[in-house]
Structure 1
Amino acid sequence: MLSKVKRLLIGRPRKSTALEEEKLNKLRALAILSSDALSSVAYGTEQILLVLITAGFAALWYSIPISIAVLGLLVILILSYRQTIFSYPGGGGAYIVAQDNLGKAPSLIAGGSLLVDYILTVAVSSSAGTDAITSAFPSLHDHRIAIALTMIIFLTIMNLRGVTESASVLAVPIYLFVVAIFVLIISGIIHYVTGGAHAAAPQFGATVSNVSLFLLLKAFSSGCSALTGVEAVSNAIPNFRKPAAKNAATTLMMMGLILGCMFIGISLLAYWYGIRPNPHETVISQIANATFGRGVMYYIIQGVTALILFLAANTAYSAFPLLAFMLAKDKYMPHMFMVRGDRLGYSNGILFLSIFSALLVIVFGGNTGNLIPLYAVGVFIPFTLSQLGMMIRWIRLKPSGWVVKLAINTIGMLTTLSITLIFIFTKFSQVWVVFIFLPLVLYFFMKISRHYENTAEQLRIDITKDKPMVKGNTIIIPVAGITRVVMNTISYAKTLSDNVVAVYVGMDDEAIRKMEQKWEEWDVGIRLVVLRSRYRSIISPLRKFIDTVEWKKADEDHITVLIPQFITKHWWENILHNQTSLLMRAYLINYKDVIVTTVPFHLNK
């Protein structure tokens, strides 16, 4: 049943030889890996206006120079990450750059920050997409969490089906969004130029007395949330078709050009139309309403905006599993993240990402505003470490043209470091949790690494000296009565050893007397050891008996416990029986240095 549902949802397994077919061309990669960055157009300008409006409507003109500054930072980041792509074509982005140039601790900070950022990407995107829907249909406002969770489930299923299939399906609405935004910008400009915009824009260049440098820096840092997702292409280079590095660099440049044009276009329209931030209607919604009215085009723009905000999460679904794979390969995350699923994707990484992002949506109540500052800090820390790592690389290697490359990364590092500090100082009440959560992530990385080191040390052998010891085998069979299950187990035990003993734990004298009598009559050539349990426990007397056998036989015999267990025909019938065999196995496998084997007997009806 479960297998059929799985096949229906994610499709038939694919052969390992089909891995190359899962690689992305530039157009598909642009859609999948740029969806996060492109979607930030829907809320980047709004985040700037939310800060400026606290100083009054007249202060909204500052959104234009702030948007230009954000655009300048975008150019720096695109050029910087283009250099990273060619220097580290294996992918991994900030984590690999920091590991190679800054050392273990900075690389783990970068890797941990990126993992947290990708989880937040899914939470922010699903929340922001819900905001776009509720702006068009206010009656759905009370169902925001359910809508966001539904989209996370949809994206999880799509990505479990494989990179190529999800790219083919999801690329269409992403490109529709790009077309719709450019139609909105061009139509909006024409509408404004022809005098169609009636709302008065704040006077450009006017002095506003209560606008401080602190406020402008806060607005700038908020606008930089539009740059989240820029690093995703450099992290996911292995997902590209060959030549992977060249295709990734081209995709990055295309993404930067599209994002820059859309972001500055929306900022200009918001200023010209005199748009004020509204908790019940997004800036995109207000611009579309002012340009087209509440007609068909308005609902098309709102629909594709909601889709791109939801699908922005797909960037994280592409990058998170790859980064988790690299950390697992370096023994900082569980090895399960290295395993490819039926459809050749890293399924465990996809499921982990979905579960934790869904929890964030529930905890934060689907409130995008509460998540974005945390989200932006999570990405600007790796930005800074990546730029610093590349600076050290150029100074260390000094390749041709290294001075220009160093200058680009130096400007990028200083800018992203400044933004990180601005975020921390201006929004500490919203981002303080980073200073608790990130050290916890690093602590878990180190604990996992230490566990793998300890495990390897204890399992490692010297093949020139260490040889298997030849021992006998003492077999213990816990029995609850004389049944076909017990007979099946004894039959198997006799093929393994001549030294077999059955153990019966009795609760009262009458039960013990009957068992001893029946066993004697059965006469299977196996000695029965009877243990009395005064406290109705089976495991405690059995444990003491095994301790005794271990003490006597440890040097000369292996101790094997064969647990008889019948398997019901239908899964639900299991709940009608006690689970003593499972409890026994769980205890012995975890606390005793013995071999534990379950011998099944299948019921036919």
Structure 2
Amino acid sequence: MRVTSPAVTSENREPVEESPRAKRLILGDPLTSEKLDDQLLPKRRALPIFASDALSSVAYAPQELLMILLIGGTAFLAFAPWVATAVVVLLIVVVLSYRQLIKAYPSGGGDYEVARKNLGEKSGVVVAAALLVDYVLTVAVSVASGVDNIISAIPELNPGRIELAVGFVILIIIVNLRGVREASFAFAIPTYVFIGSVAVMIVVGLARTALGDPPVASSAEFAVQGEELTQAAMILLILRAFSSGCSALTGVEAVSNGVPAFRRPKVGNAQMTLVLMGSIAIVLFAGLTALGLISGVHYAENPCNLIGFDCATQVQPSLMAQIAAGTFGMGSIPFYVIQAATACVLLLAANTAFNGFPLLGSVLARDGYAPKALNTRGDRLVYSNGMIILGIAAIAVLVIYQANLTTLIQLYIIGVFVSFSLGQIGMVRHWRRSLREIAALPPDAASQESAALTRRSAYTGLVINSVGAAMTISVLLIVTITKFTHGAWLVFIAIPILAILMVGVHRYYRDVEHEIEVDDTTHFGAEGDVALILVNRLQKPVIKAIDYALAAKHENTFAIHVAVSAEESAALQRQWEEHSIPVKLVIIESPYRSYAAPIAKFIKKYRESYGSSVVTVYLPQYIVGHWWESLLHNRRSRRIAQQLMLVHGVSITLVPWLLDSSELIYGRRSRPLPGEDRAGRPSTPEIQRAGRRATRPAGPPQPEKESTPVA
């Protein structure tokens, strides 16, 4: 005779909510997989999403360039136009090179995929590690720079620099977790306001200069205490200024990593977005560098080196703030518009990393170099696990370095130029291989005509990527030499460690895959079927577990009670007989008060006596609605389940029992069923009594053929 359950109970209601209310309030309702195409981006929305890093870097790249040159004194500012020109030329070459990469590898792997397919596994993981490190630093540098600009406008906020930075990272995480489409809406306006306002400032500043009324920066009156340098030190200083100016190139690779996020035609839209991003970045970088020199901006690495500046009580304004104040006037509406737009776009520049990091992480997870969880889309169809990991890492860096931009910038761009260099070398090999394959085509007319077109594009790509490889390798050497002793050595430690970890993850997944692969020689040979229901006290969850076990019609079914107290065991036996439970109760003594070990011993002896039976262990488990309730329930059952899963031939079946608080998760019915209240409980005394009677067995058990378990 089966033990029956109530006809209508709260635990068999269908859940009406798929996620907690607080999560839905913050992130929005979950999206179905069919909505994925709706999340793809057109060019006008992809630009602020993928280009915000490259565009925002023009706010601090000219500042860093001039700051390094000022170490040698104001006379070194004469080298600034030439250094800026070299940065612009490099940016043009890199943009052209990545147009070729997007065309050849549009799957979203970017430099990682190029290096892995053309240079081998080790080069691929080094590129991936470098990009991941650079994405973390992108978030840290962008947020720190944004906070710097906010403090330049409101110096009173300086004591809360770290708290502001951490708060902004958390805000960006939440916005990105809501989905790519909503993030594009949130980030589009500040990015376009920044582009427009800075462009207007450059035009106005250059027009004033042409009319004989150039803007004057607030720091132009301060002399600079320069260092005495040897000829070698002068060259190194100029090279260091060039490497700091090259921070304007960060973010260029994000478009190649994000091709899958574009609308069709994906390659064409990604290439157009890349060209627009590069063109705007070049114009803004060149214009701000020119205005910085015209207005006489003196931005020192150590503000105390500015003669006449009170570094003890004043905060050094950023280059952008000084140019805006000199062009439009301190405290004017355009000044605050530019400062607000600059701060916003610098903060939002971190968003480039929040798109590139998860996409790259998903590719690495797909290839087995990262945990599989990074390839799982969240409720809003974004790779939420990657976003959360990136946010936590960036917050850690900001806290460790006190959100200090000058310190963080020394760690920056090393990773991106490692990936630039290996990616361009990989593209050179790709085009050379393509030319060899074209040369091997059969010599018929049709194939010759198509081969000529393909050969022309291959030669074009080979030339562009060869120049790109030569320039990026040179810059990598310069950046390494000039920044290594200023903190960049940490990056050269982090990249190999991360690469080794990724190779280790790949080896682990490979070994597990080999271990679980189906073959024709492995046989498990199960010969029997027995169910064990673990019983502590006779309660409704136990009755439900018995009901489930009997419904499964196992060959043998036993209730197991581990006796740690003689009084409890005697009380359970009396209840068992009183309620005529149709399952044999087996009591196992446990003098050492352990639970899993006696059960495991019982299972082992049973299988020795009756063959290699499949043993199904039924464990009742409470389902609760409050997080703190999970600390008060299920601790023992979870430990027992974890230990029994290590026993051969055992499978665990968790039988849920929904407590009333679980309605916080599953919700309430909008309309009660007949005979129910709104909570789903029987609404009349007669039905309530019937429900209680239904939990008891209808009569004594029918005689069954049972095997006696090993005691």
CA distance in 1, matches of 2:624, 2:277: 57
Pick which of 398-407 and 110-119 moved more: 398-407
Higher mean C-alpha deviation, range 355-364 or range 283-292: 355-364
Matched, 1:249 2:266: no
Matched, 1:293 2:329: yes
Looking at structure 2, the residues matched to 393 and 567 of structure 1 have their Cα atoms a distance apart, in angstroms, of: 56
Whole-angstrom CA distance in 2 between matches of 1:501 and 1:159? 52
Shift of 1:408: 2.5
> What does residue 494 of structure 1 align with?
550
Match of 1:581 in 2: 637
The one-character-per-residue Cα deviations of 1:3-36 (angstroms, maximum 9, x if unpaired) are 2222222222333333222222222222211110
Partner residue in 1 for 2:73: 56
- Per-residue deviation at 1:46? 1.4
Once the two structures are overlaid, the 10-residue window that deviates more, 378-387 or 191-200, is 191-200
User: Partner letter of residue 434 of structure 2?
Assistant: L
8 A Cα contact 2:41 2:263, kept in partner: yes
Q: In the alignment, is the contact (CA less than 8 A) between 2:525 and 2:612 conserved in 1?
A: no
Is the CA contact 1:59–1:208 (under 8 Å) kept in the aligned structure 2? no
Q: Indicate if the aligned counterparts of 1:60 and 1:202 stay in contact, CA closer than 8 A.
A: no
Classify the secondary structure of the residue corresponding to 1:562: strand
Q: Aligned-pair distance for 1:57?
A: 2.4
Instruction: Identify if the C-alpha distance between structure 1 residues 573 and 200 changes in structure 2 by more than 3 Å, giving closer, same or farther.
Output: closer
Structure 1 window deviating more from structure 2 (290-299 vs 483-492): it is 483-492
Rounded to whole Å, the distance in 2 between the matches of 1:417 and 1:268 is 28
1:98-497 mapped onto 2 (5 Å cutoff): 98-193=115-210, 194-197=212-215, 199=220, 212-278=234-300, 280-294=316-330, 295-398=332-435, 399-400=455-456, 402-429=458-485, 430-462=487-519, 469=525, 471-496=527-552, 497=554
The structural deviation recorded for 1:578 is 6.3
5 Å-filtered alignment, 1:2-41, equals 3-41=20-58
Measured against aligned partners, the alpha-carbon deviations of 1:313-355 in whole angstroms (never above 9, x if no partner) come to 1111222222112111111122222222332222222222222
Deviations 1:23-60 (A, max 9, x none): 22222222211110010011101111222222122222
Name 1:526's counterpart in structure 2. Answer: 583
State the 1:574 CA deviation.
4.6
Q: Deviations over 1:371-418 (max 9, x none)?
A: 223230010000001110111122222222544433322222122112
Q: Which has the larger radius of gyration?
A: 2
Deviation at 1:438, TM superposition (A): 1.6
RMSD: 2.7
**1:106-158 deviation digits (Å, cap 9, x = unpaired):** 11111221122122212211111111101111111121222222222222222
Whole-Å separation in 1 of the counterparts to 2:625 and 2:27: 28
* Range 561-570 or range 305-314, more displaced: 561-570
CA 1:560–1:371 in 2, change beyond 3 Å: closer, same or farther?
same
Structure 2 residue matching 1:17: 3-state secondary structure: helix
Equivalent position of 1:537 in the other structure = 594
Native 8 Å contact 1:388 1:413 kept in 2: yes
What is the CA-CA distance between 1:518 and the residue it aligns to?
A: 4.6
Q: Say if 1:91 and 1:234, in contact at 8 Å, map to a contact too.
A: yes
Taking a change above 3 Å as real, the CA distance of residues 547 and 46 of structure 1, as seen in their structure-2 partners, is farther
Cα distance per residue 1:179-218 (max 9 Å; x no partner): 1111121222233342344547999xxx986652111111
1:197 and 1:273 in contact (8 A); partners too? yes
Identity percentage over the alignment?
39
The 1:570/1:119 distance shift into structure 2, 3 A limit, reads closer
Q: Which amino acid in structure 1 is aligned with residue 463 of structure 2?
A: A
User: How many angstroms apart in 1 are the aligned matches of 2:176 and 2:622?
Assistant: 39
Give the letter for the 2:213 counterpart: G
- Aligned equivalents of 1:86 and 1:6: distance in 2? 39
Shift in alpha-carbon separation, 1:540–1:469, aligned structure 2, 3 A: closer
Instruction: Normalising by structure 2, report the TM-score.
Output: 0.79
Cα pair distance change 1:571/1:311, threshold 3 Å: closer
CA distance in 1 between counterparts of 2:223 and 2:268 reads 45
Give the distance between the partners of 1:105 and 1:159, measured in 2 at CA.
32
Indicate the larger mover: 232-241 or 35-44: 232-241
2:310 equivalent in structure 1 = none
The 1:139/1:472 distance shift into structure 2, 3 A limit, reads: same
Unaligned runs of 5+ in 2: 1-16, 304-315, 436-454, 662-711
Are 1:201 and 1:271, in contact at CA under 8 Å, matched by a contact in 2? no
The CA distance in 2 between the partners of 1:551 and 1:435, in whole Å, is: 58
User: Structure 1 stretches of 5 or more lacking a match?
Assistant: none
Greater alpha carbon shift after TM alignment, 103-112 vs 152-161: 152-161
| Higher deviation after alignment, 10-19 or 43-52 | 10-19
- Any conservation in 1 of the 2:42–2:269 contact (CA below 8 Å)? yes
State the alpha-carbon separation in 2 of the partners of residues 26 and 528 from structure 1. Answer: 69
Name the one with the larger helix percent.
1
Q: Indicate conservation of the 8 Å contact 1:373/1:423, yes or no.
A: no
Contact 2:528 2:555 in 1 (8 A): no
Q: How far apart are the structure 1 equivalents of 2:493 and 2:340?
A: 38
Maintained 8 Å contact 1:58/1:202: no
Q: Determine if contact 2:125/2:503 at 8 Å carries over to the other structure.
A: no
Write the distance in 1 (CA, Å) between the matches of 2:268 and 2:545: 63
Distance 1:61 1:593 in 2: 79
> Which amino acid in 2 is paired with 1:336?
A
Is the CA contact (8 Å cut-off) linking 2:175 and 2:182 kept in structure 1? yes
Instruction: Give SS of 2:134's match.
Output: helix
Contact 1:201 1:274 in 2 (8 A): no
User: What SS is found at the alignment partner of 1:375?
Assistant: coil
User: Aligned residue pairs: how many?
Assistant: 600
Go from structure 1 to structure 2 and tell me whether the alpha carbon gap of 1:388 and 1:579 turns closer, same or farther (over 3 Å shift). Answer: same
Structure 2 CA distance for partners of 1:508 and 1:104, relative to 1, 3 Å: same
User: How do residues 501-520 of structure 1 correspond to structure 2 at under 5 angstroms?
Assistant: 501-519=558-576
- In structure 2, do the counterparts of structure 1 residues 402 and 486 end up closer, same or farther at CA, with 3 Å as the change threshold? closer
CA distance in structure 2 between the aligned counterparts of 1:287 and 1:412, rounded to whole angstroms:
33
Q: Is the 8 A contact 2:622 2:633 kept in 1?
A: no
CA distance in 1, matches of 2:222, 2:565: 91
Q: What amino acid sits opposite 1:72 in the alignment?
A: V
1:91 is matched with: 108
- CA change 1:416–1:51 in 2 (3 A) is same
The amino acid across from 2:563 in the alignment is G
Q: Secondary structure at the residue paired with 2:518? A: coil
Query: Which stretch of the first structure deviates more once superposed, 256-265 or 555-564?
Result: 555-564
